[in-house]
Chain A
Amino acid sequence: MKDTLAPVLRLSAHPDSRCWYVAWSPKGSLLASCGGDRAVRIWGKEGDNWECKCVLSDGHQRTVRKVAWSPCGNYLASASFDATTCIWKKKNDDFECLTVLEGHENEVKCVAWAPSGNLLATCSRDKSVWIWEVDEEDEYECVSVVNSHTQDVKHVVWHPTQELLASASYDNKVCIYKEEDDDWECRATLEGHTSTVWSLSFDPEGQRLASCSDDRTVKIWKECTPGDGDGSTDGAWKCVCTLSGFHSRTVYDVAWDRLTGALATACGDDGVRIFKEDTTADPEQPVFYLSAHMPKAHSQDVNCVAWHPQEAGLLATCSDNGEIAIWNYHSDA
Protein backbone atom coordinates (compact mmCIF):
# COMPACT_ATOMS: atom_id res chain seq x y z
CA MET A 1 0.00 0.00 0.00
CA LYS A 2 2.07 2.94 -1.19
CA ASP A 3 -0.96 5.07 -2.00
CA THR A 4 -1.85 7.64 0.62
CA LEU A 5 -4.99 9.06 2.12
CA ALA A 6 -4.08 12.37 3.76
CA PRO A 7 -6.45 14.39 5.95
CA VAL A 8 -7.31 17.85 4.57
CA LEU A 9 -9.74 19.10 7.20
CA ARG A 10 -12.36 18.18 9.78
CA LEU A 11 -15.65 19.90 10.48
CA SER A 12 -17.86 19.43 13.50
CA ALA A 13 -20.93 19.36 11.29
CA HIS A 14 -23.71 17.98 13.49
CA PRO A 15 -22.49 18.39 17.09
CA ASP A 16 -23.96 16.04 19.73
CA SER A 17 -25.58 14.07 16.95
CA ARG A 18 -24.85 11.69 14.13
CA CYS A 19 -23.78 12.83 10.69
CA TRP A 20 -25.53 10.31 8.47
CA TYR A 21 -24.62 11.42 4.97
CA VAL A 22 -22.79 13.95 2.81
CA ALA A 23 -23.30 14.85 -0.87
CA TRP A 24 -21.25 17.10 -3.17
CA SER A 25 -23.10 19.46 -5.50
CA PRO A 26 -22.53 18.55 -9.19
CA LYS A 27 -19.81 21.19 -9.61
CA GLY A 28 -18.32 20.33 -6.23
CA SER A 29 -18.51 23.88 -4.88
CA LEU A 30 -20.93 22.89 -2.09
CA LEU A 31 -21.21 19.94 0.27
CA ALA A 32 -24.54 19.09 1.90
CA SER A 33 -24.63 17.13 5.17
CA CYS A 34 -27.52 15.76 7.20
CA GLY A 35 -27.97 14.08 10.54
CA GLY A 36 -29.76 13.10 13.69
CA ASP A 37 -30.26 16.75 14.68
CA ARG A 38 -32.98 16.95 11.96
CA ALA A 39 -30.97 19.53 10.03
CA VAL A 40 -29.33 19.78 6.63
CA ARG A 41 -26.21 21.94 6.45
CA ILE A 42 -24.65 23.42 3.34
CA TRP A 43 -20.87 23.86 3.38
CA GLY A 44 -18.80 25.99 1.00
CA LYS A 45 -15.15 26.88 0.62
CA GLU A 46 -13.97 30.27 1.89
CA GLY A 47 -10.28 30.66 1.10
CA ASP A 48 -8.69 27.55 2.61
CA ASN A 49 -11.54 26.98 5.02
CA TRP A 50 -14.92 25.35 4.68
CA GLU A 51 -17.79 27.24 6.25
CA CYS A 52 -21.41 26.50 6.93
CA LYS A 53 -23.31 28.57 4.36
CA CYS A 54 -26.75 27.77 5.67
CA VAL A 55 -28.72 25.46 7.92
CA LEU A 56 -31.97 23.94 6.68
CA SER A 57 -33.62 23.15 9.99
CA ASP A 58 -37.34 23.70 9.49
CA GLY A 59 -38.05 20.99 6.93
CA HIS A 60 -38.12 17.81 9.00
CA GLN A 61 -39.49 16.63 12.33
CA ARG A 62 -37.08 13.72 12.67
CA THR A 63 -33.61 12.52 11.55
CA VAL A 64 -32.60 13.47 8.01
CA ARG A 65 -31.10 10.25 6.71
CA LYS A 66 -29.82 11.22 3.24
CA VAL A 67 -29.56 14.15 0.86
CA ALA A 68 -29.19 14.33 -2.94
CA TRP A 69 -28.49 17.16 -5.40
CA SER A 70 -30.34 17.40 -8.70
CA PRO A 71 -28.01 17.05 -11.74
CA CYS A 72 -28.38 20.81 -12.44
CA GLY A 73 -27.33 21.63 -8.87
CA ASN A 74 -30.32 23.93 -8.27
CA TYR A 75 -32.32 21.52 -6.12
CA LEU A 76 -31.59 19.44 -3.07
CA ALA A 77 -33.76 16.56 -1.86
CA SER A 78 -33.70 15.39 1.77
CA ALA A 79 -35.08 12.03 2.98
CA SER A 80 -36.23 11.83 6.59
CA PHE A 81 -37.38 9.39 9.25
CA ASP A 82 -40.52 11.62 9.44
CA ALA A 83 -41.73 9.72 6.32
CA THR A 84 -41.36 12.72 4.00
CA THR A 85 -38.90 13.94 1.39
CA CYS A 86 -38.34 17.70 1.10
CA ILE A 87 -37.32 19.39 -2.14
CA TRP A 88 -35.27 22.52 -1.57
CA LYS A 89 -34.66 25.14 -4.26
CA LYS A 90 -31.45 27.15 -4.27
CA LYS A 91 -32.02 30.90 -4.24
CA ASN A 92 -28.78 32.88 -4.32
CA ASP A 93 -27.08 31.75 -1.10
CA ASP A 94 -30.19 30.41 0.53
CA PHE A 95 -32.53 27.46 0.11
CA GLU A 96 -36.30 27.40 0.33
CA CYS A 97 -38.50 24.38 0.78
CA LEU A 98 -40.34 24.03 -2.51
CA THR A 99 -42.44 20.99 -1.78
CA VAL A 100 -42.82 18.05 0.59
CA LEU A 101 -43.27 14.59 -0.92
CA GLU A 102 -45.57 12.45 1.20
CA GLY A 103 -46.85 8.93 0.81
CA HIS A 104 -44.42 6.52 2.43
CA GLU A 105 -45.84 4.78 5.49
CA ASN A 106 -42.73 5.25 7.60
CA GLU A 107 -39.06 6.30 7.53
CA VAL A 108 -37.72 7.39 4.14
CA LYS A 109 -34.19 5.98 3.93
CA CYS A 110 -32.85 7.37 0.67
CA VAL A 111 -33.54 9.68 -2.26
CA ALA A 112 -31.83 9.88 -5.67
CA TRP A 113 -32.24 11.92 -8.88
CA ALA A 114 -32.10 10.33 -12.32
CA PRO A 115 -29.36 11.73 -14.63
CA SER A 116 -31.99 13.64 -16.67
CA GLY A 117 -33.26 15.40 -13.55
CA ASN A 118 -36.84 14.52 -14.53
CA LEU A 119 -37.18 11.56 -12.21
CA LEU A 120 -36.65 11.08 -8.50
CA ALA A 121 -36.66 7.83 -6.53
CA THR A 122 -37.32 7.38 -2.80
CA CYS A 123 -37.30 4.24 -0.66
CA SER A 124 -38.53 3.44 2.82
CA ARG A 125 -38.76 1.04 5.72
CA ASP A 126 -42.26 0.36 4.33
CA LYS A 127 -40.44 -1.94 1.80
CA SER A 128 -41.40 0.14 -1.24
CA VAL A 129 -39.54 2.18 -3.86
CA TRP A 130 -41.41 5.18 -5.30
CA ILE A 131 -40.61 6.85 -8.62
CA TRP A 132 -41.59 10.51 -8.92
CA GLU A 133 -41.80 12.58 -12.10
CA VAL A 134 -40.92 16.27 -12.09
CA ASP A 135 -42.48 18.65 -14.62
CA GLU A 136 -41.43 22.15 -15.77
CA GLU A 137 -43.59 23.79 -13.10
CA ASP A 138 -41.65 22.02 -10.34
CA GLU A 139 -44.65 19.74 -9.70
CA TYR A 140 -43.89 16.24 -8.44
CA GLU A 141 -46.10 13.28 -9.21
CA CYS A 142 -45.65 9.70 -8.10
CA VAL A 143 -45.67 7.58 -11.26
CA SER A 144 -44.91 4.19 -9.78
CA VAL A 145 -44.71 2.30 -6.48
CA VAL A 146 -42.66 -0.89 -6.68
CA ASN A 147 -42.84 -3.54 -3.95
CA SER A 148 -40.12 -5.98 -4.97
CA HIS A 149 -38.37 -6.09 -1.60
CA THR A 150 -39.69 -8.03 1.38
CA GLN A 151 -37.97 -5.77 3.95
CA ASP A 152 -36.79 -2.24 4.72
CA VAL A 153 -35.21 -0.63 1.61
CA LYS A 154 -31.94 1.09 2.54
CA HIS A 155 -30.64 2.73 -0.61
CA VAL A 156 -31.55 3.74 -4.16
CA VAL A 157 -29.17 4.85 -6.91
CA TRP A 158 -29.63 5.67 -10.60
CA HIS A 159 -27.41 4.50 -13.43
CA PRO A 160 -25.00 7.34 -14.48
CA THR A 161 -26.51 7.72 -17.95
CA GLN A 162 -29.58 5.49 -18.36
CA GLU A 163 -32.98 5.46 -16.70
CA LEU A 164 -32.10 2.36 -14.75
CA LEU A 165 -32.59 2.27 -10.99
CA ALA A 166 -31.02 0.01 -8.35
CA SER A 167 -32.14 -0.52 -4.73
CA ALA A 168 -30.57 -2.27 -1.72
CA SER A 169 -32.44 -3.81 1.20
CA TYR A 170 -32.50 -5.38 4.67
CA ASP A 171 -33.76 -8.49 2.81
CA ASN A 172 -30.08 -8.99 1.66
CA LYS A 173 -30.98 -8.33 -1.99
CA VAL A 174 -30.40 -5.74 -4.69
CA CYS A 175 -33.11 -5.01 -7.28
CA ILE A 176 -32.72 -3.36 -10.69
CA TYR A 177 -35.72 -1.53 -12.17
CA LYS A 178 -36.61 -0.31 -15.64
CA GLU A 179 -39.63 1.39 -17.13
CA GLU A 180 -41.90 -1.01 -18.99
CA ASP A 181 -45.10 0.24 -20.70
CA ASP A 182 -45.43 3.31 -18.46
CA ASP A 183 -44.78 1.29 -15.35
CA TRP A 184 -41.61 0.55 -13.41
CA GLU A 185 -40.71 -3.08 -12.95
CA CYS A 186 -38.04 -5.04 -11.18
CA ARG A 187 -35.96 -6.53 -14.02
CA ALA A 188 -33.29 -8.31 -11.98
CA THR A 189 -32.79 -9.45 -8.39
CA LEU A 190 -29.16 -9.74 -7.25
CA GLU A 191 -28.75 -12.38 -4.58
CA GLY A 192 -25.51 -13.23 -2.83
CA HIS A 193 -25.09 -11.04 0.25
CA THR A 194 -25.87 -12.87 3.50
CA SER A 195 -27.06 -9.80 5.43
CA THR A 196 -28.42 -6.26 4.92
CA VAL A 197 -27.18 -4.46 1.80
CA TRP A 198 -26.52 -0.87 2.93
CA SER A 199 -25.41 0.96 -0.18
CA LEU A 200 -24.68 0.81 -3.90
CA SER A 201 -22.52 2.61 -6.45
CA PHE A 202 -22.27 2.27 -10.22
CA ASP A 203 -18.86 2.31 -11.87
CA PRO A 204 -18.03 5.33 -14.10
CA GLU A 205 -19.37 3.63 -17.25
CA GLY A 206 -22.42 2.14 -15.56
CA GLN A 207 -21.54 -1.39 -16.61
CA ARG A 208 -20.93 -2.59 -13.09
CA LEU A 209 -22.45 -2.04 -9.68
CA ALA A 210 -20.72 -2.24 -6.28
CA SER A 211 -22.77 -3.22 -3.22
CA CYS A 212 -21.72 -3.22 0.44
CA SER A 213 -23.26 -5.11 3.30
CA ASP A 214 -23.58 -5.98 6.97
CA ASP A 215 -21.95 -9.29 5.96
CA ARG A 216 -18.65 -7.27 5.83
CA THR A 217 -18.13 -7.78 2.13
CA VAL A 218 -18.32 -5.66 -1.01
CA LYS A 219 -19.60 -7.33 -4.17
CA ILE A 220 -19.08 -6.26 -7.76
CA TRP A 221 -21.95 -7.08 -10.15
CA LYS A 222 -21.80 -6.95 -13.93
CA GLU A 223 -24.65 -6.73 -16.38
CA CYS A 224 -24.85 -9.83 -18.57
CA THR A 225 -25.00 -9.29 -22.28
CA PRO A 226 -26.41 -11.89 -24.73
CA GLY A 227 -22.92 -12.15 -26.24
CA ASP A 228 -21.42 -13.49 -23.01
CA GLY A 229 -22.19 -17.00 -24.18
CA ASP A 230 -22.98 -18.23 -20.69
CA GLY A 231 -26.68 -18.65 -21.38
CA SER A 232 -27.69 -15.73 -19.18
CA THR A 233 -30.57 -13.55 -20.29
CA ASP A 234 -30.35 -9.90 -21.28
CA GLY A 235 -30.69 -7.53 -18.34
CA ALA A 236 -29.51 -10.05 -15.75
CA TRP A 237 -26.60 -9.23 -13.44
CA LYS A 238 -24.01 -11.58 -12.02
CA CYS A 239 -21.53 -11.22 -9.17
CA VAL A 240 -18.03 -11.13 -10.71
CA CYS A 241 -16.02 -10.30 -7.58
CA THR A 242 -16.38 -10.39 -3.77
CA LEU A 243 -14.06 -8.30 -1.60
CA SER A 244 -14.01 -10.23 1.67
CA GLY A 245 -11.65 -10.22 4.65
CA PHE A 246 -10.94 -6.48 4.43
CA HIS A 247 -13.62 -5.08 6.78
CA SER A 248 -14.02 -6.05 10.43
CA ARG A 249 -17.57 -4.68 10.85
CA THR A 250 -20.58 -3.61 8.75
CA VAL A 251 -19.75 -1.74 5.53
CA TYR A 252 -22.18 1.21 5.50
CA ASP A 253 -21.29 2.89 2.24
CA VAL A 254 -19.40 2.39 -0.99
CA ALA A 255 -18.47 4.99 -3.65
CA TRP A 256 -16.93 4.49 -7.05
CA ASP A 257 -14.94 7.54 -8.17
CA ARG A 258 -16.01 8.62 -11.65
CA LEU A 259 -12.65 10.35 -12.21
CA THR A 260 -10.11 7.77 -11.06
CA GLY A 261 -12.10 4.53 -10.84
CA ALA A 262 -11.02 4.06 -7.20
CA LEU A 263 -13.54 2.43 -4.87
CA ALA A 264 -13.95 3.84 -1.34
CA THR A 265 -15.75 2.19 1.59
CA ALA A 266 -17.14 3.47 4.91
CA CYS A 267 -17.01 0.93 7.73
CA GLY A 268 -18.44 0.40 11.22
CA ASP A 269 -14.88 -0.27 12.44
CA ASP A 270 -14.15 3.50 11.99
CA GLY A 271 -11.95 2.85 8.95
CA VAL A 272 -11.95 4.24 5.42
CA ARG A 273 -10.50 2.01 2.71
CA ILE A 274 -9.64 2.60 -0.94
CA PHE A 275 -9.55 -0.24 -3.44
CA LYS A 276 -8.03 -0.17 -6.91
CA GLU A 277 -8.69 -2.54 -9.76
CA ASP A 278 -5.88 -4.66 -11.16
CA THR A 279 -6.16 -3.61 -14.80
CA THR A 280 -4.25 -6.66 -16.03
CA ALA A 281 -6.94 -9.05 -14.75
CA ASP A 282 -9.65 -10.63 -16.90
CA PRO A 283 -12.61 -8.17 -17.01
CA GLU A 284 -14.95 -11.12 -16.43
CA GLN A 285 -13.07 -11.92 -13.21
CA PRO A 286 -11.85 -8.54 -11.98
CA VAL A 287 -9.37 -8.31 -9.12
CA PHE A 288 -9.37 -5.47 -6.60
CA TYR A 289 -6.61 -4.75 -4.12
CA LEU A 290 -6.56 -2.58 -1.01
CA SER A 291 -4.53 0.48 -2.01
CA ALA A 292 -5.02 2.69 1.07
CA HIS A 293 -6.41 2.18 4.56
CA MET A 294 -7.05 4.81 7.25
CA PRO A 295 -7.85 2.66 10.32
CA LYS A 296 -9.18 5.37 12.66
CA ALA A 297 -10.48 7.79 10.08
CA HIS A 298 -13.12 8.85 12.62
CA SER A 299 -13.54 8.10 16.33
CA GLN A 300 -16.83 6.31 15.60
CA ASP A 301 -18.57 4.47 12.73
CA VAL A 302 -18.03 5.94 9.26
CA ASN A 303 -21.43 6.34 7.59
CA CYS A 304 -20.67 7.75 4.18
CA VAL A 305 -17.93 8.19 1.57
CA ALA A 306 -18.34 10.70 -1.28
CA TRP A 307 -15.84 11.49 -4.05
CA HIS A 308 -15.59 15.06 -5.27
CA PRO A 309 -17.14 15.23 -8.77
CA GLN A 310 -14.41 17.45 -10.29
CA GLU A 311 -11.26 17.22 -8.21
CA ALA A 312 -9.71 13.77 -8.56
CA GLY A 313 -8.92 12.07 -5.26
CA LEU A 314 -10.80 14.47 -2.97
CA LEU A 315 -12.98 12.40 -0.64
CA ALA A 316 -15.55 13.48 1.97
CA THR A 317 -16.54 11.15 4.83
CA CYS A 318 -18.83 11.53 7.83
CA SER A 319 -19.33 9.74 11.10
CA ASP A 320 -21.53 8.90 14.08
CA ASN A 321 -19.53 11.46 16.07
CA GLY A 322 -21.14 14.23 13.99
CA GLU A 323 -17.96 15.06 12.08
CA ILE A 324 -17.22 15.50 8.40
CA ALA A 325 -13.67 14.86 7.21
CA ILE A 326 -12.15 15.66 3.84
CA TRP A 327 -9.24 13.58 2.55
CA ASN A 328 -6.84 13.68 -0.33
CA TYR A 329 -6.24 10.32 -1.94
CA HIS A 330 -2.99 10.16 -3.86
CA SER A 331 -2.07 7.22 -6.01
CA ASP A 332 1.33 6.58 -7.58
CA ALA A 333 -0.04 3.74 -9.63
Chain B
Amino acid sequence: MSATAARLENANPLIFQRAGERLLTAGEEDEDVADPIDDREIFDLIRSINDPEHPLSLEELNVVEQMHVNVNDQESTVSVEFTPTIPHCSMATLIGLSIKVKLLRSLPDRFKIDVHITPGTHASEDAVNKQLADKERVAAALENSQLLEVVNQCLSTRPV
Protein backbone atom coordinates (compact mmCIF):
# COMPACT_ATOMS: atom_id res chain seq x y z
CA MET B 1 0.00 0.00 0.00
CA SER B 2 2.77 2.46 0.88
CA ALA B 3 4.62 1.55 -2.35
CA THR B 4 1.50 2.40 -4.32
CA ALA B 5 1.02 5.61 -2.41
CA ALA B 6 4.60 6.66 -3.18
CA ARG B 7 3.85 6.58 -6.90
CA LEU B 8 0.73 8.70 -6.66
CA GLU B 9 1.08 12.24 -7.93
CA ASN B 10 -1.26 13.61 -5.32
CA ALA B 11 -0.99 11.14 -2.46
CA ASN B 12 -3.32 12.83 0.03
CA PRO B 13 -6.06 14.60 -1.86
CA LEU B 14 -8.73 16.64 -0.13
CA ILE B 15 -12.00 14.76 -0.07
CA PHE B 16 -15.25 16.65 -0.47
CA GLN B 17 -18.79 15.96 0.69
CA ARG B 18 -20.99 14.37 -1.97
CA ALA B 19 -24.20 16.07 -3.03
CA GLY B 20 -27.48 14.61 -1.87
CA GLU B 21 -29.90 12.73 -4.07
CA ARG B 22 -31.77 14.65 -6.69
CA LEU B 23 -35.21 15.79 -5.55
CA LEU B 24 -37.90 15.13 -8.13
CA THR B 25 -40.56 17.75 -8.66
CA ALA B 26 -44.18 16.94 -9.45
CA GLY B 27 -43.68 18.25 -13.00
CA GLU B 28 -40.73 15.88 -13.55
CA GLU B 29 -42.76 12.91 -12.35
CA ASP B 30 -45.56 13.75 -14.76
CA GLU B 31 -44.92 11.69 -17.90
CA ASP B 32 -46.99 14.07 -20.01
CA VAL B 33 -44.81 17.09 -19.34
CA ALA B 34 -41.77 17.61 -21.58
CA ASP B 35 -38.74 17.50 -19.31
CA PRO B 36 -35.61 19.19 -20.66
CA ILE B 37 -32.19 17.90 -19.61
CA ASP B 38 -30.83 20.13 -16.84
CA ASP B 39 -27.45 20.79 -15.18
CA ARG B 40 -28.17 18.43 -12.29
CA GLU B 41 -28.92 15.53 -14.63
CA ILE B 42 -25.62 16.06 -16.45
CA PHE B 43 -23.84 16.34 -13.09
CA ASP B 44 -25.43 13.06 -11.97
CA LEU B 45 -24.03 11.38 -15.09
CA ILE B 46 -20.44 12.43 -14.38
CA ARG B 47 -20.21 12.73 -10.56
CA SER B 48 -19.58 9.03 -10.02
CA ILE B 49 -16.79 8.68 -12.63
CA ASN B 50 -13.77 7.13 -10.91
CA ASP B 51 -10.52 9.02 -10.57
CA PRO B 52 -7.78 7.13 -12.50
CA GLU B 53 -5.47 6.93 -9.49
CA HIS B 54 -7.65 7.13 -6.36
CA PRO B 55 -10.54 4.92 -5.28
CA LEU B 56 -12.65 8.06 -5.20
CA SER B 57 -15.17 9.67 -7.51
CA LEU B 58 -14.55 12.91 -9.43
CA GLU B 59 -17.18 14.50 -7.20
CA GLU B 60 -15.38 13.46 -4.00
CA LEU B 61 -12.17 15.02 -5.34
CA ASN B 62 -14.04 18.17 -6.39
CA VAL B 63 -12.85 17.62 -9.98
CA VAL B 64 -16.45 18.09 -11.12
CA GLU B 65 -19.01 20.40 -9.54
CA GLN B 66 -22.56 21.13 -10.54
CA MET B 67 -21.80 24.85 -10.82
CA HIS B 68 -19.32 24.02 -13.61
CA VAL B 69 -21.91 22.19 -15.68
CA ASN B 70 -23.88 24.18 -18.21
CA VAL B 71 -26.57 22.63 -20.36
CA ASN B 72 -28.88 24.24 -22.87
CA ASP B 73 -31.39 21.61 -23.96
CA GLN B 74 -32.97 23.82 -26.58
CA GLU B 75 -29.65 24.63 -28.24
CA SER B 76 -28.43 21.04 -27.68
CA THR B 77 -25.20 22.15 -26.02
CA VAL B 78 -23.44 20.87 -22.90
CA SER B 79 -20.35 22.46 -21.44
CA VAL B 80 -18.46 20.91 -18.54
CA GLU B 81 -15.45 22.42 -16.78
CA PHE B 82 -13.37 20.13 -14.61
CA THR B 83 -10.67 21.01 -12.10
CA PRO B 84 -7.59 18.75 -11.89
CA THR B 85 -6.56 18.10 -8.27
CA ILE B 86 -3.09 19.55 -8.91
CA PRO B 87 -1.86 21.97 -11.64
CA HIS B 88 0.57 19.42 -13.11
CA CYS B 89 -1.80 16.46 -13.08
CA SER B 90 -0.73 14.12 -15.89
CA MET B 91 -4.15 12.46 -15.78
CA ALA B 92 -5.99 15.63 -16.88
CA THR B 93 -6.50 14.49 -20.48
CA LEU B 94 -7.66 11.05 -19.38
CA ILE B 95 -10.13 12.53 -16.88
CA GLY B 96 -11.49 14.93 -19.52
CA LEU B 97 -11.75 12.08 -22.02
CA SER B 98 -13.69 9.96 -19.51
CA ILE B 99 -16.17 12.81 -18.93
CA LYS B 100 -16.54 13.31 -22.67
CA VAL B 101 -17.05 9.59 -23.37
CA LYS B 102 -19.61 9.27 -20.55
CA LEU B 103 -21.64 12.15 -22.00
CA LEU B 104 -21.25 10.94 -25.61
CA ARG B 105 -22.63 7.56 -24.57
CA SER B 106 -25.46 8.91 -22.39
CA LEU B 107 -26.85 11.91 -24.26
CA PRO B 108 -28.86 12.04 -27.50
CA ASP B 109 -26.67 12.50 -30.60
CA ARG B 110 -27.94 16.04 -31.16
CA PHE B 111 -25.85 17.37 -28.24
CA LYS B 112 -22.58 19.25 -28.80
CA ILE B 113 -20.40 18.32 -25.85
CA ASP B 114 -17.56 20.63 -24.80
CA VAL B 115 -15.25 19.55 -21.98
CA HIS B 116 -12.68 22.05 -20.68
CA ILE B 117 -10.34 22.53 -17.76
CA THR B 118 -11.54 25.20 -15.29
CA PRO B 119 -9.55 28.28 -16.38
CA GLY B 120 -6.34 28.77 -14.44
CA THR B 121 -6.24 25.35 -12.77
CA HIS B 122 -3.76 23.44 -14.94
CA ALA B 123 -0.31 24.18 -16.34
CA SER B 124 -1.14 22.74 -19.79
CA GLU B 125 -4.73 23.93 -19.89
CA ASP B 126 -4.72 25.06 -23.55
CA ALA B 127 -3.03 21.91 -24.85
CA VAL B 128 -5.40 19.61 -22.94
CA ASN B 129 -8.47 21.62 -24.04
CA LYS B 130 -7.36 21.52 -27.68
CA GLN B 131 -6.82 17.77 -27.56
CA LEU B 132 -10.25 17.17 -25.98
CA ALA B 133 -11.96 19.41 -28.56
CA ASP B 134 -10.39 17.56 -31.52
CA LYS B 135 -13.01 14.93 -32.35
CA GLU B 136 -10.68 13.23 -34.83
CA ARG B 137 -8.07 12.62 -32.13
CA VAL B 138 -10.76 11.57 -29.65
CA ALA B 139 -12.08 9.08 -32.23
CA ALA B 140 -8.57 7.72 -32.83
CA ALA B 141 -7.91 7.46 -29.09
CA LEU B 142 -11.09 5.46 -28.57
CA GLU B 143 -9.98 2.96 -31.22
CA ASN B 144 -6.96 2.24 -29.02
CA SER B 145 -8.11 -0.79 -27.02
CA GLN B 146 -5.73 -0.21 -24.09
CA LEU B 147 -6.83 3.39 -23.66
CA LEU B 148 -10.48 2.42 -24.08
CA GLU B 149 -10.07 -0.12 -21.28
CA VAL B 150 -8.68 2.54 -18.93
CA VAL B 151 -11.56 4.89 -19.82
CA ASN B 152 -14.08 2.10 -19.24
CA GLN B 153 -12.53 1.45 -15.82
CA CYS B 154 -13.03 5.11 -14.91
CA LEU B 155 -16.64 4.84 -16.06
CA SER B 156 -17.42 1.54 -14.34
CA THR B 157 -19.58 1.62 -11.24
CA ARG B 158 -17.68 0.81 -8.06
CA PRO B 159 -19.18 -1.56 -5.53
CA VAL B 160 -20.27 0.58 -2.59
Number of contacts between A and B (CB, 8 Å)?
38
Given A81-B143, A299-B110, decide whether A195 and B130 contact each other with a Cβ distance below 8 A. yes
* Segment 80-116 of B: residues with Cβ below 8 Å from A: 109-110, 112
Q: Does A203 reach chain B (CB closer than 8 Å)?
A: no
Contacting chain A: which of B27-35, B42-50, B134-142? B134-142
- The answer to whether A249 and B112 touch across the interface, beta carbons within 8 angstroms, is yes
Q: In the docked arrangement, what's the CA distance between A268 and B134, Å? A: 11
In B124-153, which residues have CB < 8 Å from any A CB? 130, 133-137, 139-140, 143
List the B residue with the shortest CB-CB distance to A198: B136
Give chain A interface residues in 146-178, CB to chain B under 8 Å: 152, 154, 170
Q: Which residues of B contact A63 (CB under 8 A)?
A: 139-140, 143
Closest to A301 in B: B135
Q: Smallest distance from the beta carbon of A277 to chain B beta carbons, Å?
A: 30
CB pair A81 B140 closer than 8 Å: yes
A106, A268, A269, A299: which contacts B109 (Cβ < 8 A)? Answer: A299
Task: Tell me whether A300 and B110 are in contact (CB under 8 A).
Answer: yes
Once bound together, how far apart are the Cα atoms of A152 and B135, in whole Å?
13
**Mask for A32-47, Cβ within 8 A of B = 1, else 0?**
0000100000000000
A321 engages B109 (CB within 8 Å):
yes
Contacts of B135 in A (CB 8 A): 301, 320
Question: Which single residue of chain B is at the shortest CB-CB distance from A82?
Answer: B143
* CA gap between A164 and B4 in the complex, in Å: 55
Are A152 and B137 in contact (CB-based, < 8 A)? Answer: yes
Interface SS majority for chain A:
loop
Instruction: State how many angstroms separate the Cβ of B14 from the closest Cβ of chain A.
Output: 34
Query: Is B139 a contact of A214 with CB atoms below 8 Å?
Result: no
Known contacts: A65-B136, A170-B134, A301-B135. The answer to whether A268 contacts B143 by CB under 8 A is: no
A77–B134 alpha-carbon span in the complex (Å) = 24
- Distance in angstroms between the alpha carbons of A117 and B105 in the assembled complex: 43
The reply to whether B112 and A107 contact each other, CB–CB distance below 8 Å, is no
Docked Cα-Cα span, A129 to B134, in Å, equals 20
Is B130's CB under 8 angstroms from A196's CB?
A: yes
Chain A residue nearest in CB terms to B143: A62
CB-based contact B140/A125 at 8 Å: yes
Is there a chain B Cβ closer than 8 Å to A273's Cβ?
A: no
Q: Interface size of B by Cβ–Cβ distance < 8 Å? A: 12
A299 to B111: give the CA distance in the assembly, Å. Answer: 10
Q: Which of B110, B112, B133, B143 contacts A214 (CB 8 A)?
A: B133
Contacts of B137 in A (CB 8 A): 125, 152
Contacts of B134 in A (CB 8 A): 170, 196, 214
Min CB distance A85 to B, Å, is 16
Chain B residues contacting A249 (CB-CB under 8 Å) are 112
Q: A196-B134, A301-B135 are in contact. Are A268 and B110 (CB under 8 A)?
A: no
Q: Is the CB of A268 within 8 A of B112?
A: yes
Residues 121-142 of A, flagged 1 when their CB comes within 8 A of B and 0 if not, give 0000100000000000000000
The answer on a CB contact under 8 Å between A107 and B140 is yes
Residues from chain B with a CB closer than 8 A to the CB of A170 are 130, 134
Contacts of B110 in A (CB 8 A): 299-300
**Cα of A154 to Cα of B137 in the assembled complex, Å:** 10
Q: Which residue in chain A gives the minimum CB-CB distance to B108?
A: A299
Interface residues of A in 300-319 (CB under 8 A from B): 300-301
Contact, CB under 8 Å: A300 / B136: no
Binary CB contact string for chain B from 28 to 70 against chain A (1 if under 8 A, 0 otherwise): 0000000000000000000000000000000000000000000
Residue A247 is within 8 A (CB to CB) of chain B in the complex: no
Does A18 make an interface contact (CB < 8 A)? Answer: yes
Cα distance, A314 to B146, chains bound together (Å): 43
Closest-CB distance, B131 to chain A (whole angstroms): 9
Q: Are A36 and B139 in contact (CB under 8 A)?
A: yes
Q: Tell me the minimal C-beta distance from B108 to chain A in angstroms.
A: 10
Q: How far is the CB of A302 from chain B (nearest CB, A)?
A: 12
Contacts of A65 in B (CB 8 A): 136
How far apart are the CA atoms of A109 and B140 in the complex, in Å?
10
What is the minimal beta-carbon distance from A315 to any residue of chain B, in angstroms? 22
Given the known A-B contacts A63-B143, A195-B130, are A154 and B136 also in contact in the complex, defined by CB atoms under 8 Å?
yes
Q: Is A18 in contact with B139, judged by CB distance below 8 angstroms?
A: yes
A63 to B143, CA, bound (A): 8
Listed by A's residue number, 19 A-B pairs whose Cβ atoms lie within 8 Å are A62-B140, A81-B139, A81-B140, A106-B140, A107-B140, A109-B136, A125-B140, A170-B130, A170-B134, A214-B130, A214-B133, A214-B134, A250-B133, A268-B112, A269-B112, A300-B109, A301-B135, A320-B135, A321-B109
For the A-B complex with A196-B134, A268-B112, A320-B109 known, give 4 more contacts whose Cβ atoms are closer than 8 Å.
Answer: A81-B143, A107-B140, A125-B140, A269-B112
